[in-house]
C-alpha cells in the first residue's frame, strides 16, 4: 500500500473570509438582549460561512492521524479503538442535555450509570470504594496521594512520613504527582527487567515512608511475580501502597490490584475502557481505595438506597472536590457502555486478545530486533533497534510513510533505542502482519535513506532538538 496523506495549504481561520451572501440557519439570528454594560464595541471573529468552517476543519482533520484511520500502537499510552456505539450513547440528548445542578430526582438515569460504573470498577479492581471525579490519570494519582496524605495526617503520622518511593521505571507522572502533593521523591533502581529490586526497596523503606507507587506489569510489559511480597514489605513499614492502574489491559479479569494487596489505584478510562483521548476527548481517572481510606474520598460519590440513587456526602474527612461537578460524565457513559456491552467474560477475553496480539507481534519481530528480558510479554512489548544499527527515531519516521502510527519511542528510559508497542485487543492479524513487515523493512533501509522520511505527509522531517529548545507555543 502506498500512503499519501492529504496536504492543503490551509490558512488560519481568522485569516479566512467567505465573501458570500448565502445564509444558513443561525446566520440571521436577532441580537440577543445583552445588557448594555456587558456589550463589546467590537469582537474579532472570522467572517466565514458555515460551509467554509466545515471544510476548513475537515481539511485539517485529513492532514491528521487517529485511531479511526489505522493502527496506533503507542505503548503505555494505549490508543485503542473507540467503538461508535459508546459515542452514540454519550451523545443521547437524555444525557447530553442534562444540567449538573438538576435535582437528584430528575437525573436518576445519569446517577444510575455512574453508580454502576463505580460498582464495575470496584469489582474489576477488588477495592472497596471509589471516586469518578479526576479528569486524567495524572490527576487520579494526585488525588490518590492527597487521600493517603489526609489519612496519614488524621492518624498523626504525616509529620514523619514525608517520602514517596518510586522505581526508576515509573511513568513520569508518578514522581511528579508525589512532588506536587508536597512529598520528597525517593527513586529506587529496578532489576534489569524493570521488576522491583526487593533489596533496594527494603533499604529505602523506613518510618519516613508515606507511599510506595508502582505499576504492574511494569513499563517493560513484565509482570512483577513478587508483588505480594512487595506489598507486605510496604505494609510492614506502616506505609501505603499505590497501584498505577492507567493501563489494566494485561490483568483485567485475571488478577487485580486488590488481590495483589494494594491500598489505592487509579484507572485511566481512556486507556483501558476505550474512551477517546489525545485530541479526541478529555480523559477520566477514577480512584479506588480499600475501606480504611473511604472517609477521605472526594465528595460526592454516588450512593443507592432502595431504588433511589443519591449524592453521597458522608465522607467525614473528605479531601474535598477535585473536579467540577461529577468529572468527565461523557467519558463515564462511554466506559459504562463498553463494560456493560462486553460483560465480565468479554473484558477477560479482551485482556487475552491484547496479550496474544502483543506476543504474536513479538514473535514476528524477535529475529530482526532485540527484545530484552523475557520474550513473553503482557499487553505491550519493548524492543531495541540498537542491534540493527538504526536509531529508533529513524525507524519511527519511516513507518509514517506506510500510513501507520509509530510506537512510543525512547520510553522507558532503561532500554537503549527502544520502541514500546501496544497493539491492544482490537487489531486484526492482517494489521499485525502489515505492521511487522513495515518494521522489518524499515530495519533494512540504509541510514541516509531513512533520514529522508516521512515523504508523503504534509509535515516532513522536523527538527526535534530545535522544537524542544525553542518553544513557540503561540501563533502570532
Ligand atoms: C498514561 C499514563 C499515566 C498518566 O495518565 P494521563 O491520563 O495521561 O494523565 C500514568 N501512568 C501510566 C503508566 C500511564 O501509562
Cα 139 to middle of ligand 1, angstroms:
9
Q: Given this model, what pLDDT does residue 25 score?
A: 79
Residues 6+ apart with CB under 8 A from 225: 195
Q: What is the mean pLDDT of each run of 10 residues along the chain (476 residues)?
A: 88 90 77 85 86 96 92 93 96 96 96 98 98 97 98 98 94 96 96 89 98 92 92 98 96 97 98 89 95 98 98 96 96 98 98 97 96 83 95 96 94 91 96 97 95 94 90 81
3-state helix, strand, coil in the chain (%, to 5): 40, 10, 50
394 lines ligand 1 (CB under 6 A): no
Contact 229, 199 (CB under 8 A): no
Q: Given this model, what pLDDT does residue 21 score?
A: 83
CA dist 466 and 442 (Å) reads: 25
CA dist 84 and 42 (Å) reads: 41
Cell of 299: 465528595
Q: Given this model, what pLDDT does residue 375 score?
A: 63
Q: Given this model, what pLDDT does residue 279 score?
A: 74
Whole-model pTM: value is 0.93
CA dist 231 and 214 (Å) reads: 10
Q: Which of 246, 269, 407, 420 to mutate to test the pocket of ligand 1 (most atoms within 8 A of CB)?
A: 246
Cα 137 to middle of ligand 1, angstroms:
5
Cell of 199: 533489596
Residue whose CA is closest, atom 7 of ligand 1?
137
Cell of 210: 508515606
118 lines ligand 1 (CB under 6 A): no
216 lines ligand 1 (CB under 6 A): no
- 341 DSSP assignment: H
CA dist 347 and 248 (Å) reads: 11
CB burial of 376-385 (b: ≥16 within 10 Å; e: otherwise) equals ebbbbbbbbb
Kind and range of the H or E run holding 140:
helix 137-154
Amino acid at each position: 500500500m502506498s500512503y499519501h496523506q492529504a496536504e492543503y495549504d490551509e490558512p488560519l481561520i481568522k485569516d479566512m473570509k467567505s465573501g458570500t451572501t448565502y445564509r444558513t440557519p443561525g446566520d440571521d439570528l436577532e441580537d440577543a438582549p445583552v445588557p448594555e454594560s456587558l456589550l463589546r464595541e467590537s469582537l474579532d471573529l472570522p467572517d466565514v460561512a458555515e460551509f467554509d468552517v466545515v471544510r476548513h476543519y475537515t481539511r485539517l482533520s485529513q492532514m491528521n492521524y487517529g485511531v479511526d484511520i489505522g493502527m496506533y500502537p503507542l505503548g503505555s499510552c494505549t490508543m485503542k479503538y473507540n467503538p461508535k456505539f459508546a459515542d452514540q450513547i454519550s451523545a443521547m440528548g437524555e444525557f447530553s442535555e442534562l444540567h449538573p445542578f438538576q435535582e437528584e430526582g430528575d437525573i436518576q438515569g445519569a446517577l444510575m450509570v455512574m453508580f454502576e460504573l463505580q460498582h464495575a470498577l470496584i469489582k474489576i479492581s477488588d477495592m472497596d470504594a471509589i471516586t469518578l471525579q479526576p479528569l486524567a490519570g495524572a490527576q487520579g494519582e494526585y488525588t490518590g496521594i492527597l487521600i493517603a496524605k489526609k489519612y496519614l495526617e488524621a492518624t498523626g503520622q504525616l509529620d514523619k512520613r514525608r517520602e514517596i518511593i518510586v522505581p526508576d521505571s515509573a511513568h513520569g507522572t508518578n514522581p511528579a504527582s508525589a512532588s506536587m502533593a508536597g512529598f520528597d521523591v525517593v527513586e529506587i533502581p529496578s532489576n534489569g527487567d524493570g521488576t522491583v529490586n526487593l533489596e533496594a526497596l527494603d533499604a529505602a523503606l523506613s518510618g519516613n515512608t508515606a507511599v510506595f507507587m508502582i505499576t504492574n506489569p511494569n513499563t517493560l510489559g513484565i509482570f512483577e511475580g513478587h508483588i505480594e511480597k512487595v506489598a507486605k514489605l510496604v505494609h510492614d513499614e506502616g506505609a501505603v501502597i499505590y497501584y498505577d492502574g492507567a493501563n489494566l489491559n494485561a490483568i483485567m479479569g485475571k488478577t487485580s490490584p486488590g488481590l495483589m494487596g494494594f491500598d489505592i489505584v487509579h484507572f485511566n478510562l481512556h486507556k483501558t475502557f476505550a474512551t477517546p483521548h489525545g485530541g479526541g476527548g478529555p480523559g477520566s481517572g477514577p480512584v479506588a481505595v480499600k475501606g480504611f481510606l473511604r472517609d477521605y474520598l472526594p465528595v460526592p460519590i454516588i450512593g443507592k438506597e432502595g431504588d433511589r440513587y443519591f449524592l453521597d456526602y458522608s465522607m467525614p474527612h473528605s479531601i474535598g472536590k477535585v473536579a467540577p461537578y461529577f468529572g468527565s460524565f461523557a467519558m463515564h457513559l462511554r466506559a459504562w457502555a463498553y463494560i456493560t456491552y462486553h460483560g465480565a467474560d468479554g473484558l477477560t477475553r479482551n485482556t487475552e486478545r491484547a496479550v496474544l496480539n502483543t506476543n504474536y507481534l513479538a514473535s514476528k519481530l524477535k529475529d530482526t530486533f532485540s527484545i530484552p528480558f523475557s520474550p513473553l510479554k503482557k499487553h505491550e512489548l519493548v524492543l531495541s533497534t540498537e542491534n540493527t544499527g538504526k536509531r529508533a527515531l529513524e525507524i519511527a519516521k519511516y513507518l509514517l510513510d506506510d500510513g501507520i502510527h509509530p510506537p512510543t519511542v525512547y520510553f522507558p528510559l532503561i532500554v537503549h533505542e527502544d520502541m514500546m508497542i501496544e497493539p491492544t485487543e482490537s487489531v486484526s492479524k492482517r494489521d499485525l502482519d502489515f505492521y511487522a513487515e513495515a518494521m522489518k523493512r524499515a530495519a533494512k533501509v540504509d541510514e541516509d535513506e531513512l533520514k529522508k522520511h516521512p515523504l508523503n505527509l504534509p509535515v516532513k522531517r522536523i527538527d526535534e532538538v530545535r522544537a524542544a529548545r525553542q518553544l513557540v507555543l503561540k501563533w502570532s
